Amino acid sequence: MVKVTLENVSKSFKGGVNAVKNLNLVINDKEFMVLLGPSGCGKTTTLLMIAGVYKPSSGYIYFDDKIVNDLEPKDRNIGMVFQSYALYPHMTIYDNIAFPLRLKKLPKDEIDRKVKQVASMLRIDNLLNRYPRQLSGGQQQRVALARAIVKEPSLFLMDEPLSNLDAKIRVEVRAELKRLQKELGITTIYVTHDQAEALSLADRIAVMNEGILQQVGSPDELYSRPANTFVASFIGAPAANIIDANIVEEKNAMYFEMLGTRFPMPRDYAEVLKNETKVYFMVRPEDVRIVEGKGFSVYSIEWLGREAFAHVKAPDGTLLRVILPPESKLTIGQEVGVNFNYAKTHVYKNTGELII
Contact call for residues 20 and 45 (beta carbons, < 8 A): yes
How far apart CA 206 and CA 6 sit, in angstroms, is 12
How far apart CA 78 and CA 157 sit, in angstroms, is 7
Residue type for 147, please? R
Q: Report how far apart, in Å, the C-alpha atoms of 249 and of each of 255, 260, 266, 327 are.
A: 6, 16, 13, 38
Contact call for residues 339 and 313 (beta carbons, < 8 A): no
Residue type for 321, please? R
Fold: same for 4-234 and 241-349: no
How far apart CA 215 and CA 205 sit, in angstroms, is 8
User: Which of these, 340, 352, 349, lies nearest to 266 by C-alpha position?
Assistant: 340
How far apart CA 197 and CA 201 sit, in angstroms, is 6
Apex CA 274: angle with CA 268 and CA 277, to 5°? 125
Q: Report how far apart, in Å, the C-alpha atoms of 35 and of each of 27, 63, 84, 201 are.
A: 11, 18, 18, 11
Residue ranges in the chain modelled with pLDDT below 70: none
Amino acid 164: pLDDT:
75
Amino acid 252: pLDDT:
86
Amino acid 327: pLDDT:
80
Amino acid 174: pLDDT:
84
Amino acid 39: pLDDT:
93
The secondary structure of residue 74, as a DSSP letter, is G
Amino acid 335: pLDDT:
96
Fold of 241-349: OB fold (Dihydrolipoamide Acetyltransferase, E2P) (2.40.50)
pLDDT in tens, 197-220: 999 999 999 999 999 999 999 999
**Domain map of the chain by residue range?**
4-234, 241-349
Residues ≥6 apart with Cβ < 8 Å to 95: 88
The secondary structure of residue 127, as a DSSP letter, is G
Amino acid 224: pLDDT:
95
Cα torsion for 166, 169, 174, 176, to the nearest 10°?
A: -160
Beta bridge partners of 191: 35, 159
The secondary structure of residue 240, as a DSSP letter, is P
Yes or no: domain 4-234 corresponds to CATH 3.40.1160.10 = no
Tell me the DSSP string of 22-36.
EEEEEE-TT-EEEEE
Instruction: Give the H or E element holding residue 64.
Output: none
